[in-house]
Structures are given as C-alpha cells and as structure tokens.
Amino acid sequence: MRRVKTERFIEQISTNGSVPCRFECSDGATYFVKHYGNNRLHVINELIGSLLLQLLELPTPEIALVEVVPESIEGLNFDRKAPCGVAFGSRQLQGQSKSLDRGDLYDGLEIRKFTASQSLTGIVLFDIWVYNTDRTQLNPNVLVEQIPNNRFRFVAIDHAMIFDGMEYRYLDRSEKILSPTIEDSLIAHPLYRQIHDSLGLFYSEEADRVLGRIESIKEEELRGVLEEIPDEWEVTETEKDSIIKYYLLPRKHCVRGFYQQLLVDANIKIP
C-alpha cells in the first residue's frame, strides 16, 4: 500500500462520524484523512471498502496510508482527537465534484453527459455484498465528478459503515444473512430512478459483470485485501478470519437474490 506524509493542514470537516481532515501531502496531492484514534472500525472499513471496490473495478477515489507528521498540525485545535499515526487517506478528486443530491446536474440534456452510468448498479451490488447501510436516499455518498470533454462520472465514497457497522468479533454470531431494505439502498434515491428512465441505467450486462465478479471471488483474493491493513492498526488474524469466513464469503452467494428482490420492491425492471 502506498504511503505519503502530511505536509500542510487545510481544514477539519465537521461530520457526525470520523471527523476527517484535509491535508496536502508529500506526493503533492490533497487527501481527506481519517485517523484511527477517532473511530477504529470506521478507518479500517474505509480501507477495506475502497480495496473491494477496486477489486470489482468500480469507481472510487485513489487511496493511500497517510503518516500524520506532528509538525503539520502543531498548535491546531480539533473537535475530537487530533490526527496522529498512520491514517487512511482518500485522494481529492482532480475534477470538479458535487454530491449526487445536486439535482441541477440532471436537468435537461446534462444527464446525457454521464459516462458509464451503469456503475451505479455496481455500487448497489457492492453495498448489498458488504451490507453498507450508509448509502441511502438521504445520504447517497456518491460524488459526481467532472472529467475531460465536459462529461461526468459517479464515484463511490465513505465506506465506514460496511458490515452493518458491527465489531468484527461479532460477525460470526449472525444466525441469518440479511438483505438491506429498499430504504437502506441507493435504489430508493429519486434520482436513481430518474437516471434509469433517462439513460437505461440497468444494463443487464453490467449487473451480470459485477455479480459474476462477486460470486467468483476467492478467499485468497480477500486475504490479499486484508493484508493491506497496516500493522499499526492492530487488526488480529481472528478478526480477519471473521470478515472473510463469516461475512464476505457467505454473503457473495446471496447478492443476486437480494438485488432482484430490491428491484421488485422498487418496481424497477431490467430491460
């Protein structure tokens, strides 16, 4: 995993969760940084979620492990614990970006400037697999990034609540594999249907591609993802086993059925 160091503090971002900070780092890029001290699970989940999205070839910001240099925050005050140690960094998108909630992007012909619009289908399938309950109608956690030729793409961010926010040591205690409800899914977002109606979002080829990738993922690939977790975060082998054996592997066989039921619940048909 690539590592960078903080060089210049830019701002603290007030949220209800991990209170990220924005830093300019040693590679010249700007990162949104979440550190281990504010919420252990959130930071680990961010890393795991980003790497799994990369494995599925779905759009998500570049990431790095960020070493917080004490001198870069000297004399500053923070709402919660000051950033320290090795943190998770999500690189700021290079193009102008806005939240999926910005409805003005979808008016008129603007919607036709979107490339790979079906990636939203992949993001929904990812959320079902990892049981992400933090990408919903009220909190979509999807950015719209402007890319060359005056076009746009959808980018998934914020994976802190994957695994339903559960402690890893409890993942083996679930007696039943649960599906997110339509209220817990991006499918409920009104703009999701609008994009579908305008662009034919639900190409069965994309759904089949992502579902096939999830269903074919092997234990060795998942272990490779978890091996990227830095030693400084002290994730035990028992915790890693719980994530793989009691969550990701069993759930991969349920995603297709859960997805089809969510489409039925939303009254959406794939062409």
Is 150:225 a contact under the CB 8 Å cutoff? no
More confident call, 203 vs 255? 255
Inform me whether the pLDDT recorded for 25 exceeds 70: yes
Partners of 154 in beta bridges: 144
Mean local confidence (pLDDT), 163-191: 85
Is 159:132 a contact under the CB 8 Å cutoff? yes
Closest CA to 4 of 76, 75, 93, 91: 91
Is 52:30 a contact under the CB 8 Å cutoff? no
**pLDDT band at 108; cut points 50, 70, 90:** very low
Inform me whether the pLDDT recorded for 235 exceeds 80: yes
Give residue-wise pLDDT tens across range 123-156. 999 999 999 988 887 788 988 887 877 777 889 9
Give residue-wise pLDDT tens across range 44-67. 999 999 999 999 999 999 999 999
User: pLDDT averaged over the chain?
Assistant: 87
pLDDT at 115: 59
**pLDDT band at 71; cut points 50, 70, 90:** very high
Q: What percent of the chain has pLDDT over 90?
A: 57
pLDDT at 17: 66
Mean local confidence (pLDDT), 106-124: 67
Inform me whether the pLDDT recorded for 270 exceeds 80: no
Q: For the chain, how long is the longest CA-to-CA vector?
A: 58
pLDDT at 109: 44
Q: What percent of the chain has pLDDT over 70?
A: 87
Mean local confidence (pLDDT), 107-113: 54
pLDDT at 111: 57
